[in-house]
Amino acid sequence: MWSQGTEQFEVLRRMIDLCIWKFNLGTLNEKIGFNKEIISRGRFAELTAAELRPFRPDEAELFAKSAWNAYKQFRDKTAFSRSMAVDKMEEKAQGRVWTGKDAASRGLVDAIGGLSRAVAIAKQKANIPQDAPVGSYVYPSCNTHCYS
């Protein structure tokens, strides 16, 4: 898997880009007249479908532990792919949003550029001629849910 990071000057980038949240849409759904019934079995069966109510204390604890584990896995893989000790990477990234130049100066991206630069670097690393055609695909397709 290729993990070369590039960045444009005007784009903001987060080194640790892991966002986990839980919505509570109960009041909104009530106001608009939306009703949802959940049928479940098991102590944590509703954990990811319970957007109509706050977490119970045991659910909140499990969610927090799961989020922390996901963060640590992502953080550790990111540090490894950057050949950087975890504590050093955390010291540099600080869980903050960095611009391209700032991210590059901290060693959080490999190069400044856009998609074409990333493709050129990937071709170089894979020993593919620079003039060889490549395709790009967007998954899932952006027919109904993409932002403009």
| pLDDT tens, position by position, 14-40 | 344 556 677 788 888 889 998 877 788
Q: Is residue 80 part of a domain?
A: yes
Structure token pair of residue 140: 């899932």
Q: How far is CA 66 from the centre of its chain?
A: 15
Provide mean pLDDT across the span 52-73.
Answer: 85
DSSP state of 55: P
140 confidence band (pLDDT: 50, 70, 90)? low
**Residue 65, amino acid:** K
Query: Given this model, what pLDDT does residue 8 score?
Result: 41
Residues 6+ apart with CB under 8 A from 29: 35, 36, 52
Alpha helices in 48-108 (DSSP H): 57-81, 86-93, 100-105
Q: Residue 108 falls within a domain, yes or no?
A: yes
Residue 29 lies inside a defined structural domain of this protein: yes
| 16 vs 97, more confident | 97
pLDDT of 85 higher than 80: yes
In a domain, residue 145? The reply is no
In angstroms, rounded to a whole number, what is the distance separating the alpha carbons of residues 70 and 76? 10
Region 57-75: what's the mean pLDDT? 86
* 42 located within any domain: yes
137, part of any domain: no
Total domains in the chain come to 1
Degrees, nearest 5: CA angle 63-20-101: 145
